[in-house]
Amino acid sequence: MPETHDRSGVFALPPRLTRSLADASPEELEALAARWAERLRSEDGGEMTKDDVPALVRAVAQLAETAVTTGGNLCCFFY
């Protein structure tokens, strides 16, 4: 993903990552969210995102599960 968001675009998650998210247990998703939140804190100099990281990870995992069960792909659009 580009560092700046001055343009729009889309990227697809690799099938292996999509399946891993779909198959992850609630505990694994919580651990992933904790690692991601820590990374955000360290990269943003203490300015934590206002998003609820665990809820966001759970939502993406639900989308991944839908993609896997329907034979689709998981994509992210940005603008």
Domain boundaries, the chain: 15-78
Backbone phi, then psi, for 77, in 5-degree steps?
Answer: -100, 140
Q: Output the pTM of the full model.
A: 0.78
Summarize pLDDT for 39-79 with one digit per residue, the tens. Answer: 888 877 656 566 788 999 999 999 999 999 999 999 998 87
What is residue 3's predicted lDDT score, i.e. its pLDDT? 54
Contacts of 60 (CB under 8 A, 6+ apart): 21, 74
List, as one string, the DSSP characters of 38-73: HHHHHHTTT---SS-HHHHHHHHHHHHHHHHHHT--
Cα–Cα distance measured from residue 37 to residue 42, given in angstroms and rounded to the nearest whole number: 9
Cα–Cα distance measured from residue 24 to residue 51, given in angstroms and rounded to the nearest whole number: 21
